[in-house]
Amino acid sequence: MTPEPAFGEVNQLGGVFVNGRPLPNAIRLRIVELAQLGIRPCDISRQLRVSHGCVSKILARYNETGSILPGAIGGSKPRVTTPSVVKHIRTYKQRDPGIFAWEIRDRLLADGVCDKFNLPSVSSISRILRNKIGNLSQQSQYESSKQSSHQPPQPTLPYNHIYSYPTPIGASGTKVPTPPGMHSLPGHMAMHRIWPSSHSVTDILGIRSITEQQISDSSSFPSAKLEEWSVINRTHFLPSASSPLVNGVQHKSPHSIEPEAKCTQMQSGLPTVNSYVTAPSIPAYPPPTPVSPYMGYSATTSAYVTGPTWQPPSGSALSHHSCDNIASSLAFKGMTAHHRDTLYPHTVSASAL
DNA sequence: GCCGTCACGGTTGAA
DNA sequence: GATTCAACCGTGACG
């Protein structure tokens, strides 16, 4: 909650960043692009003026998940101790009052009640046994003999039913939850986290452009892409009847729209995500300026990110066109050109220039 | 010098 | 509405 989010900090490389906030997707994308070009991470770090730890992290994530997007910040994990799980635990406990928590865990897995991704921990099961079924072992015999009317399994947990676990398989074999009513995401489009990113909806380049475009031309928007953007936003899990579009993006309050997303809405419509690669006029490592990275990322990404007349070790300067292509292709592995063009309209317009 | 990893201080959003 | 908590972030330092 910085009063002035427009001004970030400057790292050792002279790059501007906002502490606690993810790098703009333009930069993230750039990192992956350059890596795909064979540029070493240390060179990417220097060129983009992003710490090498960050470069390493983003590349590692990309290699693992195929996504350049940051994870979901804030919020809470979806509960794994759903009423159904509690009910099963209760059943197991009733059948075998001496059953151990780890045995229950194994049985939940074996019976397909849970999978390894939403399997409650032993401690969770123990807590359920203690707090919710704790009296069961004593009461069960007692009550059964008493033939008291059975209370239906109470959803005593503050479980939010909106969280479900259809468990599609992610790129790295991890499962990615798909909100109810949504198709499973292809692995290469899945987020690493098992719940979607909220901020990344607005974090993503041109997201609003995309959605607005979708609104204005709802007939041609690929459903897969909609799903992708929707699944990114945690708010999509809200049991709202609204469309994924509204849920995922426009449902957010104006305050929640992040600066970079706002700025991605270029007045000119020409963010220069890729243009910074070739910026020979920019002196090498210019002195850091107190400019918001998020502002800079949008309108003047080149000015912020690039700087030096940087060339890869091979000696060939990165071509604008080649980078456009790669930029487009790397938002997600396997993303189609049509998706890319819509996701990164700036690349199209930039190329058109 | 490069790279992976981790502590740190920060932000975020659900509960 | 404020607080708490647990997730995430990128940086910077270390090995």
Measured between alpha carbons, how far is A213 from A269 in angstroms, rounded to an integer?
Answer: 13
- Encode pLDDT of A147-158 as tens digits: 333 333 333 333
Mean pLDDT of A232-261: 36
Mean pLDDT of A215-235: 37
For all residues of chain A together, what is the average pLDDT? 55
Q: CA A72: distance to chain centroid? A: 5
Residue A275 CB contacts under 8 Å (≥ 6 apart), including other chains: A301, A302, A320, A350
Q: Give the CA-to-C1' distance from A134 to C1 in angstroms.
A: 36
Q: CA A199: distance to chain centroid? A: 8
CB A177 within 8 A of CB A195: yes
3-state DSSP assignment of residue A234: helix
CB A209 within 8 A of CB A347: no
- Encode pLDDT of A140-182 as tens digits: 443 343 333 333 333 333 333 333 333 333 333 333 333 333 3
Q: CA A33: distance to chain centroid? A: 19
The end-to-end CA distance of chain A, in Å, is 38
- The answer on pLDDT for A81 being more than 90 is no
- Encode pLDDT of A201-212 as tens digits: 334 343 333 333
pLDDT score for A166: 33
Nucleotide B5: nearest residue by CA–C1'?
Answer: A53
- Encode pLDDT of A248-302 as tens digits: 333 333 333 343 433 333 333 333 334 333 333 333 444 444 444 444 443 333 3
- Is the CB of A346 less than 7 A from some atom of nucleic acid strand B? no
Token pair 């604008």 is at which residue?
A: A320
3-state DSSP assignment of residue A16: strand
Task: Write phi, then psi, for A306 (nearest 5 degrees).
Answer: -85, -80
Q: Give the CA-to-C1' distance from A43 to B13 in angstroms.
A: 35
Q: Give the CA-to-C1' distance from A268 to C15 in angstroms.
A: 48
Among A21-30, A134-143, A189-198, A265-274, top mean pLDDT goes to A21-30
Burial class (CB in 10 A: 0-12, 13-18, 19+), A122: middle
Q: Give the CA-to-C1' distance from A324 to C5 in angstroms.
A: 42
Measured between alpha carbons, how far is A261 from A241 in angstroms, rounded to an integer?
Answer: 25
- Identity of residue A167: T
Burial A263-282 (b: 16+ CB within 10 A, else e): bbbbeeeebbbbbbbbbeeb
- The answer on pLDDT for A14 being more than 90 is yes
In the 8-47 segment of chain A, residues within 7 Å (Cβ) of strand B are 18-21, 40-43
CB A54 within 8 A of CB A36: no
Measured between alpha carbons, how far is A75 from A97 in angstroms, rounded to an integer?
Answer: 36
Q: Give the CA-to-C1' distance from A17 to B3 in angstroms.
A: 22
Measured between alpha carbons, how far is A171 from A296 in angstroms, rounded to an integer?
Answer: 32
Measured between alpha carbons, how far is A153 from A161 in angstroms, rounded to an integer?
Answer: 15
Instruction: Give the bases of strand B that a protein CB approaches within 7 Å.
Output: 1-7, 9-15
Instruction: Give the bases of strand C that a protein CB approaches within 7 Å.
Output: 5-13
- Helix spans in A75-135 (H): 83-95, 101-110, 122-131
Nucleotide C13: nearest residue by CA–C1'?
Answer: A53
Tokens of A45: 């770090």
- Is the CB of A198 less than 7 A from some atom of nucleic acid strand B? yes
**Share of residues in chain A with pLDDT > 70 (%):** 31
From the list A274, A129, A143, A104, the residue with the least C-alpha distance to A205 is A274
Q: Give the CA-to-C1' distance from A75 to C9 in angstroms.
A: 14
Nucleotide B1: nearest residue by CA–C1'?
Answer: A42
Spell out where chain A has E strands: 9-10, 16-17
